[in-house]
């Protein structure tokens, strides 16, 4: 798996001096420990954004005229098992995180929880039902413990 980082809000660099390097190290840990991720050539875009941009996207794509902490936009609405192909890159989609919603105390820990949550959404996990929510929380903890 590979995550491309796009910085749309310069204040991110105050908290994450080199976000691309930080994410690269964390993705390397995930690839090493989660065989499912290392076997496929998944690509994700992580957009480090702000309240104004995320509110606009939330309104446009979800019909909610308010800011939020994170948005995930899967590129493909088919289950992953249906889009797997050998040795081909699979673009999973975009994760957008709002810097104003990341708790400043323990910033990196909170940031990790958010992008991992977004990644799991791109992998097809949801939290609409209680059973799905529990499964997603369990995976979030596993992934978080690997990268932290």
Q: Which CATH number characterizes residue 45's domain?
A: 3.40.390.30
Give me the mean pLDDT over the 85-105 stretch: 87
Residue 80: per-residue pLDDT: 58
Average of pLDDT values for 80-87? Answer: 54
Is 92 in contact with 43 (CB distance < 8 Å)? yes
CA distance 105 to 122: 27
pLDDT at 6 over 70: yes
How high is the pLDDT of residue 87? 53
Q: Binning pLDDT at 50, 70 and 90, where does residue 41 land?
A: confident
Residue 82 clears pLDDT 60, i.e. is over it:
no
What is the number of domains present in the chain? 1
Q: Where are the alpha helices (DSSP H) in the chain?
A: 12-15, 19-33, 35-39, 51-62, 80-83, 107-122, 130-147
pLDDT value at residue 109: 96
CA angle 96, 148, 36 (to 5 degrees): 70
**What is the pTM for the complete model shown?**
0.91
What is residue 88's predicted lDDT score, i.e. its pLDDT?
75
Percent of the chain with pLDDT over 90: 78
Percentage above 70 pLDDT, the chain: 92
Q: What is the pLDDT of residue 90?
A: 86
Task: Print the domain residue range for 15.
Answer: 2-147
Instruction: Determine the pLDDT at residue 78.
Output: 59
9 has pLDDT over 60: yes
What is the maximum alpha-carbon separation in the chain? 43
Q: What are 97-132's pLDDT values in tens digits?
A: 999 999 999 999 999 999 999 999 999 899 889 899
């Amino acid at each position: 798996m590979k995550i491309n980082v796009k910085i749309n809000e310069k204040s991110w660099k105050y908290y994450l001096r080199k976000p691309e390097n930080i994410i690269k190290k964390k993705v390397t840990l995930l690839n090493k420990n989660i065989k499912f991720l290392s076997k496929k050539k998944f690509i994700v875009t992580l957009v480090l954004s702000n309240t104004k941009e995320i509110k606009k996207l939330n309104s446009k794509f979800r019909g909610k005229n308010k800011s939020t902490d994170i948005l995930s936009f899967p590129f493909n609405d088919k289950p992953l098992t249906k889009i797997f192909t050998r040795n081909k890159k699979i673009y999973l989609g975009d994760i957008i995180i709002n810097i104003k919603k990341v708790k400043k105390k323990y910033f990196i820990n909170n940031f990790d929880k958010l992008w991992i949550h977004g990644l799991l959404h791109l992998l097809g996990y949801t939290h609409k039902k209680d059973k799905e929510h529990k499964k997603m929380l369990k995976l979030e903890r596993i992934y978080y413990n690997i990268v932290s």
